[in-house]
Structure 1
């Protein structure tokens, strides 16, 4: 009898543990907490974070690489291939494997945190890391094979990731080399975004119609285009809709805090895009 009870308890422990672990991961994300909270309710930790005037600096480096400099001094570079260097080396680099212009398997060994958007042995990447004053997590998406069928039939399931950076009360997302439209499960996993970096090439990633639809559904305050090539900015603006205003800057760096987010959804085009 005692053996039977022990066996049942062990089985229940195995069933409960993964859900508990997932719950712990979810609770660490303030952006998910905001997305799931009733309207106008902000987590206490976020209210504390926004009490000051800490700003995040976001600098366009080139292609789909942005530098994010946090108030605590952490420097992040997205889609790091080593080609776009500005000032000191980043402390954190994120990568996707769509093309060699978005990753390197031989990063500078002085970079302490190298985060791949793909997993190993067919498993999806799972990133939940607090580095200094920033919490970094990922949401996996399917990706086309490098020499695959661009109609979308030759895909690697969970082969890549959207990266989300939570810092100074801001939720910042980088859509990477996005190949698929985001469904409700993606949007639920992403949660709230205040700023999103969006590829607008219209060919190698998604069509302009596709990426415009994704951008509208995310409902962010700030959209930062990237991966542009020769795409006319006017065409992207026409597709994205009249709900967004356009703000074209002469500088490469955006300094922003939660308090200075625009009240109307805005596409901010930094110099070099």
Structure 2
């Protein structure tokens, strides 16, 4: 059980390029250059005219026969063509599977709840909720907590990220009584309680005046509201029993009474703390049928 003073981010104009030479040639009052028309023999001229007429006739015939080749497509036509392309490339029988795969890809859900493979392997196969508490560093008392949920395909989806505190001296893998570290690991969450009545938790909830906290924290902050709501972390305790249960299977020297409880504005002896509104959200969200766990430690350790 926590001690009372402890745990508590060229220019275009209408499609025409205007060059300096073109502007000078059309400037009002500019002197006109005299040009002498080139002499062209009549035979060659007739050939050129006939060739031009032939090309024009052929072009007109082509436009009349295939007008879509020479007409700029409208916006509606472009949208319709774009929408039709995926279906044209996909057999009708497999469209349903493609849409399902696209939905999965769009979700881009990870197979681990924001942690490394080593820690992810420690999460029980039946757990479908994981409160991941990631400390800023191994010596920091500041952390972020995120409640992840696992779907039937084994993909994890994060909820909101909540600011949190942990122990004064950060984290360790060999927690001992009074070392002012929070234990790194994966632990089940099986019971809750508090000075206040159950706000709607589906977990076993012990409502008792024994959760009253007194005194001040490490930074002189009052601990008055610290135990209004608590969730017991199954570290060195009997799972499923009241958070007030004094039994310590690993022995008292390994520390006990590690909880998630209401934040009091400073570091703890070993617990994890969230604001009171976030504690209420957590209590309402945790579902015993989802076999919730807490994954806790500094970011470097959790990414292993």
TM bin (shorter chain): under 0.3
TM-score (norm 2): 0.20
Larger-gyration structure (1/2) = 2
TM-score (norm 1): 0.22
Name whichever structure is richer in strand by fraction. 1
